[in-house]
Chains A and B, each alone.
Chain A
Amino acid sequence: MTAYVLRRLLGLFPVLVAAIILTFAANRFVPGDPITIMLGDQGGNVVLERKLRAEYGLDRPVSVQFVDYVSGLARGDFGLSFRYPGVPVTQVIKDALWISPLLAAAALTLAIPIGIALGVLAALRRNTLADTGIILILVAGLSIPNFALAAFFVWGFALKLGWFPVAGWTTWKHAVLPVVILAIPAAAYLARLARTFMLEVLQQDYVRTARAKGLSERLVVWRHSLRNVLVPILTVCGLIFGGLITGTIVVETIFNIPGLGRIAIESIFARDYPVTMAIVMLFTLFYAVINFAVDVLYGLVDPRIRVEAVR
């Protein structure tokens, strides 16, 4: 088990290293000179220019800048914003930091039970009308992009029916549509997988043994089949959570939610590279850490990994 965990941990490093290098490169090798842009109409002011350049560390050689960058990251310091001169990036993103993960987590909590339930139901009612119906719904859920769904949902539920507010971020009602829209593709993906896994599990020998023991169908499904489905589904959850995190980018833009995603897009258009790169780093980190955590969880849940084989 420990060997397993260590191996997974080791796998994180190349990704983090790549992320650090790429974001640094993107930050430094951008078109145009950020200082010039920042100075704007104060372009002639050499004193100010030198001061700004020093503040941003842009007067030092690239290698030193890189070291500074990395050590800054270790401290949680992402440097200074270009858009808001002199303001640390951490300040810019501080308040938004918890919003995106919260949305993603809420969507995941919604998607997991619904997705698994739908998938298992379809598998148990295989080849019936219910199964085919569910499959078609799932395809639609996976195929329609979240912003298109948003257009329909907002028009239908918010505008026509008036059940939910259209945009903003003050009451819990504001969170419903974004979370639901985030959850739909995730639930559809989970349901497809759950159905496939359940169908496979139901064919397995140990299910036949359970029936041969005279266990009730309920026990056969709930105890012997479902468990074996949940275990591989768990591995996918990391992937899904990662997708949800990036999904918040779109959803926040649509509903005007002040989360990391919206700030990322704004910063791209404002050419505020440090902020963009900081968010890229954070998202990548989230993604990698979540996947790692899921791997470890999987190791705990599957006894074939947790416990050593033949003594």
Chain B
Amino acid sequence: MNGNVEVVADATGARDFLRRFIRTRSAVLGFILVVLAVATAVLSPWITPNDFSRTNMAFIWEPPGQDFVLGTDAVGRDVLSRLIVGAAVSLVVALSVLSIALVVGTTAGMVAAWKGGWFDAFVMRTADVTLAFPDLIVAILIAAMLGPGIPTVILSLAVVSWPGIARITRSLVLSLRSELFVDAAIVSGTAARTILLRHCLPNIVPALIVRASVGVGFVVMAEATLSFLGLGVQEPLPSWGGMIRDGLPALRSEPHLALAAGTALGLTIIGFNLLGDGLRDLLDPRIRER
């Protein structure tokens, strides 16, 4: 069907264009949401109207109003301020997790692909076994040993995230290895480390960016889940997951806490997922229209 392949490559009909536009629009929407979340987090020291940890028993469970835009919680703390700081907490955690996972994952993947042999087998086996455990279970294991808290969250999420990155890195480096420019570098006696860092890494970065942007949403959701269960961020630091937990018992008469935190959480993760999807569409080379 040779004739058709070329035609399809050129074809961009009205329908396809519509889809591309929508896709772009949803990616733009994702971008906006992400920017909002990140800005909130970054600017948090300056934009919180009240001290997020200040309790005030005279004002417990205030509905949203003049003094407290989103109301207060069970001990009189301002919901909006906690929401804002919560953004910072979630994103710092997510960033830490991703940094660790990226460093560990890319190193493991690159070395495994380069060295081959038993090291490769070992790394891949470990990755497989790690992936065989449901992520929440891993978190529970670590929480049981270390106790709940931010280090637990970061450690368990990093443990769960690095195998995927290692796999991608490994397969990319393996395919790069057969490229001409890598051969040239090897023949001219360049050290393995230089080859990996200077030649391979830049080619891997797009795939990693895609993977990371899709991964942030997952990490934020996982951290929120752990905090919801009480295994994650501990008081007095606010976290959206924890706020939902606090807000659930009062859902009947004071829904604002849980619903506000739920909305913030939902929108942020939707934003990261839309952005991640959009980036993937952009950076993935494609011949045929999906």
What is A's interface to B at a CB cutoff of 8 Å? 14-15, 18-19, 22-23, 26, 29-31, 126-127, 131-132, 135-136, 139-140, 142-152, 154-155, 159, 166, 196, 199, 203, 205, 242-243, 245-246, 249-250, 253-254, 264-265, 268-269, 273, 276-277, 280, 283-284, 287-288, 291
With A245-B134, A249-B229 given, can you name 19 additional A-B contacts, CB distance below 8 Å? A14-B128, A15-B132, A127-B15, A127-B19, A142-B273, A144-B265, A144-B270, A145-B224, A145-B241, A148-B265, A151-B255, A151-B259, A151-B262, A152-B262, A155-B258, A265-B229, A268-B231, A273-B144, A276-B140
13 A-B pairs with CB atoms under 8 Å apart are: A143-B217, A145-B221, A146-B225, A147-B225, A148-B262, A151-B251, A152-B262, A155-B255, A159-B251, A250-B228, A268-B148, A268-B231, A287-B137
Q: Within the complex, which residue of B16, B128, B129, B144 is in contact with A127, where a contact is CB–CB below 8 Å?
A: B16
* Chain B contacts for A280, CB-based, 8 A: 137, 140-141, 144
* Chain B contacts for A143, CB-based, 8 A: 217, 221, 266, 269-270, 272-273
Q: Report the Cα distance A199→B16, complex, angstroms.
A: 14
Q: Is the CB of A159 within 8 A of B252?
A: yes
B244 in the interface (beta carbon within 8 A): yes
Q: Within the complex, which residue of B229, B255, B266, B274 is in contact with A250, where a contact is CB–CB below 8 Å?
A: B229
Q: Report the Cα distance A131→B16, complex, angstroms.
A: 12
Q: Report the Cα distance A304→B143, complex, angstroms.
A: 44
* Chain A contacts for B137, CB-based, 8 A: 246, 280, 283-284, 287
B230 in the interface (beta carbon within 8 A): yes
Decide if the interface of chain B is mainly helix, strand, loop or mixed: helix
Chain B proximity of A1: nearest CB distance (Å): 23
Chain A proximity of B114: nearest CB distance (Å): 24
Q: Is the CB of A284 within 8 A of B140?
A: no
B163 in the interface (beta carbon within 8 A): no
Chain A proximity of B243: nearest CB distance (Å): 10
Q: Report the Cα distance A253→B136, complex, angstroms.
A: 14
Query: B1-25 interface mask toward A, CB cutoff 8 Å, 1 = contact, 0 = none?
Result: 1000000000000011011001000
Q: Is the CB of A287 within 8 A of B16?
A: no
* Chain B contacts for A30, CB-based, 8 A: 144-145
Q: Is the CB of B225 within 8 A of A250?
A: yes
Q: Report the Cα distance A154→B251, complex, angstroms.
A: 8
List 9 tightest A-B contacts by C-beta distance, closest first. Answer: A148-B262, A246-B136, A144-B266, A143-B269, A143-B270, A127-B15, A151-B258, A15-B132, A246-B134
The bracket for how many chain B residues form the interface is 35 or more
Q: Is the CB of A269 within 8 A of B230?
A: yes
Q: Report the Cα distance A127→B16, complex, angstroms.
A: 7
Decide if the interface of chain A is mainly helix, strand, loop or mixed: helix
Chain A proximity of B272: nearest CB distance (Å): 8
> Of all chain A residues, which has the CB nearest B290?
A199
> Of all chain A residues, which has the CB nearest B258?
A151
Q: Report the Cα distance A283→B140, complex, angstroms.
A: 11
* Chain A contacts for B145, CB-based, 8 A: 26, 29-30
Q: Report the Cα distance A205→B5, complex, angstroms.
A: 13
Which of B132, B225, B270 has the most chain A CB atoms closer than 10 A to its own CB? B132
Q: Report the Cα distance A139→B272, complex, angstroms.
A: 10
B232 in the interface (beta carbon within 8 A): no
Q: Known: A132-B22, A246-B137, A277-B144. Is A288-B132 also a contact (CB below 8 A)?
A: yes
* Chain A contacts for B251, CB-based, 8 A: 151, 154-155, 159, 166
> Of all chain A residues, which has the CB nearest B288?
A203
Which of B241, B252, B261, B262 has the most chain A CB atoms closer than 10 A to its own CB? B262
Q: Is the CB of A283 within 8 A of B144?
A: no
B120 in the interface (beta carbon within 8 A): no
Q: Is the CB of A23 within 8 A of B269?
A: no
Q: Is the CB of B266 within 8 A of A246?
A: no
* Chain B contacts for A277, CB-based, 8 A: 144
B48 in the interface (beta carbon within 8 A): no
Q: Is the CB of B144 within 8 A of A147?
A: no
Q: Report the Cα distance A254→B145, complex, angstroms.
A: 24
Query: B160-195 interface mask toward A, CB cutoff 8 Å, 1 = contact, 0 = none?
Result: 000000000000000000000000000000000000
Q: Is the CB of A265 within 8 A of B230?
A: yes
Q: Report the Cα distance A143→B255, complex, angstroms.
A: 21
Which of A136, A143, A199 has the most chain B CB atoms closer than 10 A to its own CB? A143
Q: Is the CB of A287 within 8 A of B269?
A: no
* Chain A contacts for B143, CB-based, 8 A: 268
Q: Within the complex, which residue of B144, B231, B273 is in contact with A139, where a contact is CB–CB below 8 Å?
A: B273
Chain B proximity of A233: nearest CB distance (Å): 17
* Chain B contacts for A159, CB-based, 8 A: 251-252, 255
Q: Known: A145-B224, A155-B258, A273-B144. Is A14-B125 also a contact (CB below 8 A)?
A: yes
Q: Known: A145-B224, A151-B248. Is A284-B265 also a contact (CB below 8 A)?
A: no
> Of all chain A residues, which has the CB nearest B260?
A151
* Chain A contacts for B221, CB-based, 8 A: 143, 145
Q: Is the CB of B229 within 8 A of A151?
A: no
B118 in the interface (beta carbon within 8 A): no
* Chain B contacts for A19, CB-based, 8 A: 133
